[in-house]
Structure 1
Amino acid sequence: MEGKVIIFPVESDTAHVRVTPMMKAKSFSAVTVCLRFFSDYNKEQAPFSLSVPTHADGFVFIRGNGRYRLYIKDRGVVFHGLPTPLNRWNSVCVTWESATGLAQFWVNGVPSARKAIWPGQSIAGTPIIMLGQDQDTYGGRFDKHDAFYGHVTDIHMWDNVLSPEEIWPYMRCVVPRPGNVVNWNNLDYANHGYVVVERKQYNFCR
């Protein structure tokens, strides 16, 4: 998938990409997810969702209406004051660790405040990872009002918290260490519904 983008060209409750994680069964005590997205729609939408059997919103982030939300094990926390520009590429990383419960967003190089969610807990069970939809049940039941409508690329997931020194290069389109759970350059995936995969039309990295 290197050099390619996934396009969700319509708002729907069917279009999604199911990603096979490199770890089949796992208990996550820390997570970092990074991706780049482009959209002209300011509604709340979920470009990435991870579900486990006991929690539909195992690890989900939603962007829209001038804010970012993170859901872990069906509990959510809201992050305000981050960049939310339309019609441009945005680089986003979100981190969480069980030891402290602290979660944080980075958007276009701007870090959020760190906020607590589920300290001392883990995300346990075989994960189902989807792009473009928020899973309301384990692996299904989509609502088009949560659907992502735009382009995504460069998606990586790790089972640890990346340091700021590792996140900064990603903000500049450099991935010094590919994800060990999801690796964009070696992605095992299946498209469902109206989804288009094509090469990047221009170099948006600066």
Structure 2
Amino acid sequence: MDKLQLWLLVLTSLSEAVAQEDLYRKVFIFRNDPNEAYVVVKPEPEQPLQNFTVCLRSFTDLTRPYSLFSYATKGQDNEILLFKPKPSEYKLYVGGEFVTFRVPEIRMDWEHVCASWESATGIAEFWVNGKPLPRKGLQKGYSISAEAVIILGQDQDSFGGGFDLYNSFTGEMAEVYMWGYGLSPGKMRAAYQSLQLPPCSLGWRNLQYELKGDVVIKPRLRETMST
């Protein structure tokens, strides 16, 4: 390999490297509608899940369906999916099955959601802006596979791809977290209030991510969020 080839290889490796930084008071902006943009995030460590909690904030004026958080494995593209088909509801998928949560229509403001699930009881919780909705049953006894691809802003219909542009997210996203256990009610409220949170496998303050397509990072507008 000559020097030019070696230099090109180094540049390619650097361009494909996963970024890691503290995203405090920053947001991902998905700029176009519809779009092919997404963010790949990587939790540590990778292991099968019997329980989980996912929390994030979003800010959009979309009224069509869109995906916020997609966790896919080679055997199941909807291992975990947080999907909003219309302004008045969310769907939470676990292992290809889903439950629907009815929510108030919140227009032109930040919306904070947390979804949790436990295999032993099959109980799924959903919190919107620090308030719980009625709990529902989903996939009791199921185990979520490891070695996943986690994508923000698109719905994976195959492992790492298969996107439908008209299910893409357009808007701003921030404070994405994932735990391998269910958070207590107090910690659910703390997540909404942007307070100190327990250690997690995927956290906004030390996120490992790759931007794909037209996604940019900008400082958040403080007046649009709770803190």
Question: What is the TM-score when the length of structure 1 is the normalising length?
Answer: 0.94
Indicate yes or no: 2:17 matched with 1:20.
no
Partner of 1:194: 214
Task: Tell me the number of residue pairs that the alignment of Structure 1 and Structure 2 aligns.
Answer: 203
Partner of 1:76: 98
Indicate yes or no: 2:182 matched with 1:161.
yes
Structure label with greater radius of gyration: 2
- Structure 1 alignment gaps of length 5 or more: none
Partner of 1:11: 33
Structure 1 segments of 4 or more deviating over 4 A?
none
Question: 133, 148, 155: which is aligned to 2:154?
Answer: 133
What is the CA distance between 1:48 and its match in structure 2? 0.8
Question: 134, 140, 158: which is aligned to 1:113?
Answer: 134
Indicate yes or no: 2:137 matched with 1:124.
no
Deviations 1:42-77 (A, max 9, x none): 222111111111100110011242101011111111
Question: 40, 43, 52: which is aligned to 1:31?
Answer: 52
Q: C-alpha distance in 2, partners of 1:188/1:173?
A: 20
- Structure 2 alignment gaps of length 5 or more: 1-22
Q: C-alpha distance in 2, partners of 1:140/1:120?
A: 28
Deviations 1:59-110 (A, max 9, x none): 0011242101011111111111x23312101111000000100101100122
What is the CA distance between 1:6 and its match in structure 2? 0.2
**1:98–1:120 contact (8 Å) kept in structure 2:** yes
Q: Which amino acid aligns with 1:198?
A: K
SS of equivalent residue, structure 1 residue 182: coil
Deviations 1:94-148 (A, max 9, x none): 0000010010110012211111111011101301111000100011110012111
Q: C-alpha distance in 1, partners of 2:120/2:145?
A: 15
Partner of 2:106: 85
Partner of 2:11: none
Partner of 2:117: 96
SS of equivalent residue, structure 2 residue 48: strand
Partner of 2:16: none
Deviations 1:19-58 (A, max 9, x none): 01122x3100001000011011122211111111110011
- Per residue, is there more strand in 1 or in 2? 1
Q: C-alpha distance in 2, partners of 1:64/1:83?
A: 14
Q: C-alpha distance in 1, partners of 2:95/2:137?
A: 13
Q: Which amino acid aligns with 1:14?
A: E
Partner of 1:205: 226
Give the 3 Å change call, closer, same or farther, for CA 175–10 of structure 1 in structure 2.
Answer: farther
